[in-house]
Structure 1
Amino acid sequence: MKKEHRIKRSDEFSRVFNEGFSVANRQFVIYVLPKEGQDFFRVGLSVSKKIGNAVTRNRVKRLIRTFFQEHEQAISGERDYVIIARKPAVDMTYEQVKGSLWHVCKKAKIIQPKVRAHK
């Protein structure tokens, strides 16, 4: 992911949490904050130490990043997203992570119309 497509600073995370809305399933919570005039979407990831050690957390983050890179054209721009991984995400394969994230993105209505999932 490009640097400008990431949310890194604490105040940016707080703004998405406080001003945005959230949608969840068993594996992930996604916070969405619409941002007018921003041509692309930005993503912030939160994987708690409760999930596991550093290797486990980094694997989960890598799978989430891969999903957003693969589906960049399908996901609505002009928004900031914060994705929080829950404990069940640890034991999932990439295909399961992809299906779960696609599901939560559809619930949040951030998938652009007429774009199909790559299954």
Structure 2
Amino acid sequence: MEKAYRIKKNSDFQMIYKRGKSVANRQFVIYTKTNKDLEHFRLGISVSKKLGNAVVRNKIKRAIRENFKVHKNDIIPIEIIVIARQPAKDMNTIQIQSSLEHVLKIAKVFNKRI
């Protein structure tokens, strides 16, 4: 992911948590907040240390980023935070992507094409 697509600052995370809307399934929680200044979406990923060691957490983060790369042109300009829950650690990449697509459809972040 390019730098322009990332949310890194704690203050940005906190603002989205407070003012954004949340949607969840068993594996992920998604916070979304509209931002009229954006031309594309911005993504923040949070995977707790409770889910496992660094190898497990990075595997989950890579799968999440890959899903957003695949759907890069299909997502509306919005700020998104993805929080992984406990069941995500036992899933493979394809299962993570299908679960993430499911919760993103509920959050209505896709263009009308999907």
Stretches (4+) displaced over 2 A: none
Report which of the two has the higher share of helix. 2
Per-residue displacement from partner, 1:17-37 (whole Å, max 9, x unpaired)?
001000000000000010002
Match of 1:97?
Answer: 96
Match of 1:35?
Answer: 35
Deviation, structure 1 residue 74: 1.4
Task: Describe the SS at the equivalent of 2:59.
Answer: helix
| Code of the aligned partner of 1:86 | R
Match of 2:84?
Answer: 85
Task: Describe the SS at the equivalent of 2:23.
Answer: strand
C-alpha distance in 2 between matches for 1:37 and 1:10: 20
Structure 1 residues without counterparts, runs of 5 or longer: none
Match of 1:108?
Answer: 107
C-alpha distance in 2 between matches for 1:113 and 1:22: 20
- Using the size of structure 2 for normalisation, the TM-score is 0.97
Q: How many residues align?
A: 114
C-alpha distance in 1 between matches for 2:60 and 2:96: 9
| Code of the aligned partner of 1:113 | K
| Code of the aligned partner of 1:50 | K
Percent pairwise identity: 46
| Code of the aligned partner of 1:38 | L
Structure 2 residues without counterparts, runs of 5 or longer: none
Cα RMSD between the aligned structures?
Answer: 0.7
